[in-house]
Structure 1
Amino acid sequence: MLVKPKNYLFEKMAFITKPIRRRPIGRGRLGLPLPQALAKFRWLLAPLLPLLWLFRFVIFAKNFCYDRGFFKSKRLPAFVISIGNLSVGGTGKTPATIFLAAALRDQGWRVAIVSKGYRREGTASVIVSDGRRILADAVTAGDEPLLMAQACDGVPVVVARDKTTAAMAADEKFAPDIILVDDGFQHRRLQRDIDVVMVDARMLLSNLWWFPAWPMREPATALRRAGFVILNTGGCSDCERMMKKCRRYTAAKIFSGALRGLGWRDLTAAQKILPLDFVKDQPVLLVSGIAHPERFRELAEKFGARVVDEITFADHHRYRENDLGAIEATRKGSGARYILTTSKDAGKLGLLPGATAAPFLVLETVFDIEPPFLTELVEAIRHKR
């Protein structure tokens, strides 16, 4: 079954919480990737053109005022590095932040991470982790901050509605040497020492409409503010062409990176990590609430899983008990032996009563970046400190 691009676009909108059911993989090809859907069917979004131009004007005016010094950025004692992107979601910011936090921690620096905690409950500042223990769950922290806290021992994680507020709280509470700002490229109210920008190798840097007509937050020319560019090459068939495109817009050094699977675990992480080929030839149901569910499917198939059905939710979906019932009913109806999900979804699914009894397997991953990147970044930090 070919999913209509219109529905595929709506799936990306956070306020849509109903799952989008897919037929078994063997019955047909699934939906178009977002950039291709936009390029082919952008006329469907023509009513949004007035909002698009208004958004462009606001972004231009904001950047102009910051560039000319009319708006001031808050300077903190800590060295501030933002990890952001140009588009809406799905470029690998969170796994790249985890990579950087662990790498810089291992270099001997005290590191803290700050984030907004998208779609969490409440707006107050929350310490997700003090570096020694987890102090919040996915509901109060947000799924991605919880994931970062779980993956980064010794690294405090703080969330607040405003990233500057979160950074000030982290600086006051933990006195870190380095603060990493998750999704901070557009948050110019906080002064950064280095901007690391993630670019999806599958996402064209031009000829795409801006938000709210989707998916660009800023034009490719904004890359001139970047200190480093990381090209997420996962599943890309023509990465060299994307490298050349990036070089048109920035003098920053460009490195490639990609998500790599480590193994499978249960929802509680109580059992040891199972090898990636544990799911080989096994009938599985895929469940995810991420920006690009097709990439999770590609990984599952790469590891040999036989995908018999799939349920996708909107990015950052907050799971409820009726979701779990529907998932289990689908698993039994499709004949799937296991339910495969992502580590981002696992923190929310694990809160549901009875979820740990279901045959969930969670994919553990790591984001690998070319080794010269860390060498260059450390040198830049030491030079600017």
Structure 2
Amino acid sequence: MNFESLYYEVISKDRKLYQLPMLLMLRSVAVFYVWVQSLRAGLYRSGLFKTRRLPARVISVGNLTLGGTGKTPTVMLIAETLQAQGFKPAILSRGYGGETVNEVNVVCDGKAVLLDPEIAGDEPVMMAHRLKNVPILTGRNRFKTGRYALEHLGADTLILDDGFQHLALHRDLNILLCDHKSPFGNEVIFPAGHLREPLQAVRRADLICVTRYGPAGNLEAVQRVNSKQVPLVKMTFEAKTLVQVSTGESTGLDAMKDRPVAALCGIAQPKAFLKSLEQAQARVVSHHIFPDHFQYLPEHLRAVEEKARAAGAEWLVTTEKDAVKLLKFEFSIPVYRVCLAVNIVDGREAWNRMLEAAATVPAG
């Protein structure tokens, strides 16, 4: 068991009795963390910590929990929606997992993908490959990356990827994502739980997106903390197509039906990926699950390939995020990525209205 798996086991309800001292230690640290996060938010509210403004409209997407809630596909949907409305969006990401220390990194200039995932992080590069004509930048200081996008890349609207806690930059629309099945995890703050900050932070949201919406969810938990009664948008993420990584050729999901495949992923929600293969009726003969944002080395991929071939897999199937990290490697079996699409099942009118309103407010 790796450290990440051990950590999530300790904070879960299924922890072992001998893990209780570890949980108590984490809870004691969490008390201090709550105090720090509350103080930080209070200092920004009071104006003692400065929130800077850029001369453009800013839309933020983020969550309150650790792990994946679907920020990346939601950010891409926002970019596509804004483009359809005639705007010129740029995406600002921190570039988690990337090695660069530069203040401004142009992953895509709106014409070509310029950086590798090792440098810029896997999610920004994945978005760059998918969107292509949307500028994407990474850097810790979103004010500086945003200013660069406005001055050099022709953007008129900025999208903050994972920006809910980035209080240093003013935003015109604050979108909060909550996973329908487990909106706030165990509702305990890090490091004893899944929350990045106290639940009161929900009040900063202007729009709440309930992702992975389905019959077995907990919408009541979201409604309970939605004291401002902001609009709720319900979303699902659906596998739509398969794309061969080496050639870029697309095919339907039905090509996996009854086919022996190996599954490879390093994402926060691997069960969702495996479920998409199950729904496509693929015959998964080999599973290879790695931690989120995992940096694959040649020896990792050779081992995956050997086990896949030994299990009789005809294809290696992976996620879009993982696929950008496999481009430099040669495989002896075809490698396909599963492309997801966001489906808004309820709240489409509110979604379009609020995005357009935020993008047309006076800049700055």
The amino acid that maps onto 1:50 is S
Q: Distance between the aligned counterparts of 1:51 and 1:244, measured in 2?
A: 29
Matches within 5 A, 1:333-344: 333-344=310-321
Question: TM-score, normalization: structure 2?
Answer: 0.91
Q: Distance between the aligned counterparts of 1:318 and 1:257, measured in 2?
A: 29
Matches within 5 A, 1:8-157: 10-11=4-5, 38-41=12-15, 43=20, 44-124=22-102, 125-157=104-136
> Structure 1 residues 178 and 104, CA, compared in 2 at 3 Å: closer, same or farther?
same
From 310, 322, 338, the counterpart of 1:363:
338
From 262, 265, 268, the counterpart of 2:243:
265
1:202 is matched with 181
> Structure 1 residues 384 and 223, CA, compared in 2 at 3 Å: closer, same or farther?
farther
> Structure 1 residues 314 and 172, CA, compared in 2 at 3 Å: closer, same or farther?
same
From 203, 212, 220, the counterpart of 1:224:
203
Q: What is the CA distance between 1:175 and its match in structure 2?
A: 4.0
The 3-state SS of whatever aligns with 1:39 is: coil
Q: What is the CA distance between 1:74 and its match in structure 2?
A: 1.2
1:28 is matched with none
Q: Distance between the aligned counterparts of 1:240 and 1:88, measured in 2?
A: 19
Q: What is the CA distance between 1:37 and its match in structure 2?
A: 6.8
The amino acid that maps onto 2:39 is A
Unpaired segments ≥5 residues, structure 1: 1-6, 14-33
The amino acid that maps onto 1:310 is H
The 3-state SS of whatever aligns with 2:325 is: helix
1:20 is matched with none
Question: TM-score, normalization: structure 1?
Answer: 0.86
Q: Distance between the aligned counterparts of 1:116 and 1:169, measured in 2?
A: 14
Q: Distance between the aligned counterparts of 1:37 and 1:54, measured in 2?
A: 17
1:327 is matched with 304
Q: Are the counterparts in 1 of residues 57 and 361 from structure 2 also a CA contact under 8 Å?
A: no
Moved over 4 A (4+): 34-37
Q: Are the counterparts in 2 of residues 12 and 314 from structure 1 also a CA contact under 8 Å?
A: no
Q: Distance between the aligned counterparts of 1:241 and 1:55, measured in 2?
A: 27
Q: Distance between the aligned counterparts of 2:10 and 2:236, measured in 1?
A: 21
Q: Distance between the aligned counterparts of 2:179 and 2:112, measured in 1?
A: 33
RMSD of aligned residue pairs (Cα, Å): 2.2
The 3-state SS of whatever aligns with 2:129 is: helix
Unpaired segments ≥5 residues, structure 2: none
Q: Distance between the aligned counterparts of 1:45 and 1:309, measured in 2?
A: 34
Deviations 1:7-44 (A, max 9, x none): 4872498xxxxxxxxxxxxxxxxxxxx69971332835
Q: What is the CA distance between 1:266 and its match in structure 2?
A: 1.2
Q: What is the CA distance between 1:68 and its match in structure 2?
A: 1.2
Higher mean C-alpha displacement, 313-322 vs 357-366: 357-366
Q: Are the counterparts in 2 of residues 224 and 251 from structure 1 also a CA contact under 8 Å?
A: no
Q: What is the CA distance between 1:185 and its match in structure 2?
A: 0.4
Q: Distance between the aligned counterparts of 1:40 and 1:224, measured in 2?
A: 31
Deviations 1:242-264 (A, max 9, x none): 553353x4421111111111111
Q: What is the CA distance between 1:111 and its match in structure 2?
A: 0.7
Q: Distance between the aligned counterparts of 2:10 and 2:68, measured in 1?
A: 15
The 3-state SS of whatever aligns with 1:349 is: coil
Q: What is the CA distance between 1:161 and its match in structure 2?
A: 2.8
The 3-state SS of whatever aligns with 2:322 is: helix
From 354, 357, 360, the counterpart of 1:379:
357
Q: Are the counterparts in 2 of residues 293 and 312 from structure 1 also a CA contact under 8 Å?
A: yes
Q: What is the CA distance between 1:280 and its match in structure 2?
A: 1.0
Percent of pairs with identical residues: 31
